[in-house]
Amino acid sequence: MMRKINYPLLTGMYTCLLAFLLLSSSCRQATNHKQHHSAKTGSAEIKYAKGFAIDYYDGYKLVSVYSGFGPTADTAQYVLLAKGAKAPEGFPKSQLISIPVKRLVAMSSTHVAQADFAGVSDDIIGLGSFKYISSAVVRKNIAAGKVRDVGVDGTMNDEMLISMKPGLVIVMGNPDAKYSKYETLTRAGVPVMLNSEWLETSPLGRAEWVKVMAALTNTEDVVDQKFDAIEKEYHRLAEIGRHAKDKPTLISGMPFKGVWNVPDGDSYMAEFYKDAGTNYKWRNVKGKGSLALNFETVAPEALKADYWLNVGYVDSKKDIRATDVRYADFKPFKTGKIFNYNKRVNDLGSNDYWESGSVSPHLILADLIRILHPELLPQHQLFYYKQLN
């Protein structure tokens, strides 16, 4: 006969196991520090981005990619070696990248935009997907058969990539994550660099990653100049925005199935909203970039908000109503103040906001100020945003 089951004990164990699993999923991993040493000749001036550093040495450059929270032991380091120079000692774990990089494979639209910014998008020979591309140069090259589709991240065609002999494959990543899925490529001599510009919490910080592209392609002069201009323009606009007399309220994003993801205080979107002169409810909430809130928490704000921005894949008020009939009760719906960043969506369905927008924070800020304070920028034509009717 079976022994009687001890229910209290089982229930206790079950609850403890559940609690443990739920708690551990929100814990961050511990980090430790490592130092490196050599004779530097200079460093790139990085004012806003927290996720990388570029150091200049005799004959090579060192790009360190952090997780966005500052240097940790998991910093990925890349040695950018000039042609003909000898590989430096002391970097056993780092990849060597020959510069200037020709034959670039880009896995994300932001990388294409950075290449465009640096004027080197003609060197792109491979993309993760042909569906998400706005750059005119790259599209022309695709049509001419000069660019290959290498498969989205996770299902990359390693064999094709190796045979293409690219100078560098740039992937979206988090330096904390494991490198192992790219081992096949790196062991075959294909350098793979992780970019984590998407972790930046400020618009200028995100755009500043063009300097990594500059270091890779020896276009620092051009890029620094352009970036300085954008930086100046951004600050000029932010002054206007922040000194606006009345600050409208707004809600951001589109809920899905009872959950409304809104940008929190640590996201670049919240910084945009601050610089554009708004009263954004969650601007002071610290977090990982977005808050997953219950629909009913955000709904009271939505009922009173002045503007509704960034509504996702919809293109008209009819679409919004079709998604959920309750959205028609929101004040921005009733007053028609709904704006979406889908003005520059091309015939492939890809949205340039995610491409050139990532390196043009000044244009996005101008759009936002034009929307939120039309009287402050009357001459500006909306570039990425449009009003939904």
Contact positions vs another protein (CB under 8 A): 5, 7, 11, 14, 18, 129, 131-132, 152, 155, 256-259, 291-297, 299-300, 303-304, 313-314, 318-319, 321-326, 329, 349
52 vs 132, beta carbon nearer another protein: 132
173 vs 191, beta carbon nearer another protein: 173
Minimum CB–partner distance for residue 304 and another protein (Å): 8
69 vs 256, beta carbon nearer another protein: 256
229 vs 259, beta carbon nearer another protein: 259
7 vs 243, beta carbon nearer another protein: 7
Minimum CB–partner distance for residue 259 and another protein (Å): 6
Closest CA to 66 of 46, 89, 38, 90: 46
Minimum CB–partner distance for residue 231 and another protein (Å): 30
242 vs 304, beta carbon nearer another protein: 304
Minimum CB–partner distance for residue 342 and another protein (Å): 11
Minimum CB–partner distance for residue 243 and another protein (Å): 31
169 vs 291, beta carbon nearer another protein: 291
Minimum CB–partner distance for residue 25 and another protein (Å): 12
- At residue 309's C-alpha, the angle toward residues 306 and 313, to 5°, is 140
Minimum CB–partner distance for residue 82 and another protein (Å): 36
